[in-house]
Amino acid sequence: MPRFLRNLLIGAAVLLLLAVVLDRVFPLPLPAPDTGSTVVLAHDGTPLRAFADSDGVWRYPTTSKQVSPLYLQALLTYEDRWFYRHPGVNPYALARGVATAVRHGHIVSGGSTLTMQVARIITPIPHTVAGKFVQIFRALQLEVHLSKAQILNLYLNHAPFGGPIQGVEAASWAYLGKPADRLSHAEAALLAVLPQSPSLLRPDRHSDAARRARDKVLKRMRDEGLWSEAQVRDAEIEPVVARSLRAPLEAALLAERLHEQQPQARRIVTTIDANLQRSVEDRVSDYLSRLPPRTSAAVLVVDNATLEARVYVGTAEFGDPLRLGHVDMVRAPRSPGSTLKPFLYGLALDDGLITSQSLLVDAPQDFGGYKPGNFDETFSGPVSVAEALQRSLNVPAVDVLDHVGPNRFVARLANGGIDLGLPQGAQPNLSIILGGASTRLENLVGAYTAFANGGIAGAPRYVPDQPKQARRLLSPGAAWIIRDILSTNPADVEGAPLDGTINQHGAVAWKTGTSYGYRDAWAIGVTDGWTVGVWIGRPDGTPSPGQYGAVTSLPLMFAVVDMLPDDRTHPHATQPANVRRVDICWPLGGAASATPTALCRQRRVAWTLDGAMPPTFAERDITAWSAGLITVRVDAQGHRLSATCRSKVEHRIQIARWPALATSWLSTDDATQAALPPLAPGCAADSLDVANPIRIAGLSDGVRLRQAPNSAQPLRVTLQALGASGEVQWLLDGRLQGSSLGNANMQLALPQAGDHQITALTRDGAFAQLAVYVDKS
């Protein structure tokens, strides 16, 4: 072998050995594959929130297959068109860089390949002659250890774009508000040149300089014949407009929640609709600007078919200290107010206890020492199930819960996804139906989807691969009937259309709720396609007097429903075969077809389930009054005969009796028809009569009263219920004022001029009423 060749081979071996040694001594400092910021994305890829890495850098992982081909064309043509052909260093480019530096006295073009730029990105290298040799060495290392695709991906993810932005995907979203796979020719050229001098070419600060640099790239693309003259001319017309540099911040609390659950994930794709999320956040912010200080809100919108959440607003203003904007009210435990009532009535339907028009009594009642009242402190007497649910009356709901059983009701809710929080050591009791427990907005919304899904409730899903959790809460028939009741609920508050009608969604089934002390205002709405939940209140639990579900949360809920996509493509819930419309009769509750006309005092059209037509609830703790159908013997004159009485001529008659506590609200005709015939002379008293008839003393019926002149105090009267032996409830115009014992004095205030009705009502149904008129002073 010739000496020259042998020396050449020895030299090459030494250089190779030296390269191997240097590669081992100075290993390539590649960034760890899982380093970088985390980005939480909407379902279409739009970033919702970015979490910077430990160095404060925003970087959204991407690859060359996920960015625009226009960008790759511009980048490789302008920066390194021989990228796929050189071994990391382009000798011609280096020589050209040295020649221009000698000619101009300073570096004009460094001759760096894209691989050399990646070398400088991944490790600090000084801009000196020695640094250039280090950069060349690192570039060769990169080419040995990585493929061209891997090197290109390092550039796409780590190139500097100004401020804390690294990588083309983060830059595209930060400056242009769009993903890097949707770039125009002008935008691709701009992002290709920006890393050359990111601080001087930032489009949000130096738009003119950025435009000149962009146009230079555009001309290069035209001169190389890659882009047409027309494409470049149109691109040059496009202005350089960049958004203020900020990280995206939509669905911030959901993003934080998912980031905490998946701390190692770099891309978290959610089910959120980015445009809808942004629109609802803006609507919430505007709406709450009219509410008291420190008020926050939460909104959750779920697609009924998939249970995927499309909108997740956890706070009115993320980061606002006055509103406690760091508290996620979608998952904060709060008192649900009356929002559980639809499930109670649905369960009672499934149990065969009621129909949609069963007779309930809204009057002062004592449930073992628990004496609920209504939100407006008034009572309405006899009401239907539908009316009690639509008006959210409390006493009828407690009555139904007493028949269903609190423990069973809580267990059924838990099976459907509503796990109620009770005070430590407490057991389920009747107060839970009025908000005496806690739950979360996401649990309520998931449960309400049952009214659109045939009684099957499901947990909201926030990421596409989250398993679908669906559980039976009600039967299809009960769910359909309750939804029908809620969708015909007249909503006459500001911002809510009558009968809940929204043109593109049909009828909205809705329910509101308010917790004790005005701490929580709720509104939940269900359409064929969507379930929308709204909570408004103060996260610290302090009251917001005057703010309650119907006036505070309901208008916002309807506004959100009106923003949703048309759901007429979703299948409409059809009436189940076991649900029938049947005429029933009050006060007995049976089918009108099976009730004699004389006993059918009021005819109601009811939805029935499985043919069940239960009678009106039996009365509780009533000894002197027998409600329902009773049969009595009467003599020829129509007088009642007690058990020991006999008459030569007697016959039996039937009387339909109303519940005792409803009697003071009956019309004169209904009360007369339900009254017992008087006892025949000489007959001993029986148990059918009210034991202790009462009379109001202190005022005469029909009296006119006048306020004392110049008095700022309301007119007060002192009354007694003569003949009463137990507790007496006093009502003024249907509103409970207080109670007295026996014939003890009761003082009532008559604050307004005009007609008033005063009622004294005992637990066994005995009552007395009188009307008074207060003149203006």
Q: Distance (Å, rounded) from C-alpha 756 to C-alpha 777? A: 16
H helix intervals, 575-731: 668-674
Catalytic-labelled residue, pool 338, 358, 553, 740? 338
Establish whether the linkage from the previous residue to 587 is cis, with ω within 30° of 0: yes
Q: Tell how far CA 564 is from the center of its chain.
A: 14
DSSP 82: T
Longest dimension (CA), the chain: 152
Catalytic-labelled residue, pool 37, 68, 79, 281? 79
Q: Distance (Å, rounded) from C-alpha 644 to C-alpha 348? A: 42
Quick one: tokens of 210?
């950025």
Residue 79 is among the residues annotated as catalytic for this protein: yes
Q: Distance (Å, rounded) from C-alpha 242 to C-alpha 282? A: 22
Among 384, 387, 380, 382, smallest CA distance to 354 is for: 384
Residue 37 is among the residues annotated as catalytic for this protein: no
Among 611, 570, 53, smallest CA distance to 355 is for: 611
Quick one: tokens of 439?
């739950």
Quick one: tokens of 617?
């609830």
Beta-carbon contacts of residue 162 (< 8 Å; ≥ 6 apart)? 171, 194, 198, 199, 201, 202, 204, 245
In this structure, are strands 520-526 and 509-514 parallel, antiparallel, or unpaired? antiparallel
Buried b (16+ CB within 10 A) or exposed e, 24-53: eeeeeebeeeebbbbbbbbeebbbbbbbee
Residue 604 host element (H or E): strand 602-609
Quick one: tokens of 224?
């190389």
Quick one: tokens of 196?
């050359």
Number of Cβ within 10 Å of residue 476's Cβ equals 21
Secondary structure percentages of the chain, helix, strand, coil, to 5: 35, 20, 45
Going across the sheet that includes 267-269, the strands are 47-51, 38-41, 267-269
67, with CB counted inside 10 A (0-12, 13-18, 19+), is buried
Name the phi and psi angles at 223, rounded to 5. Answer: -65, -30
Q: Which residues are catalytic?
A: 79, 338
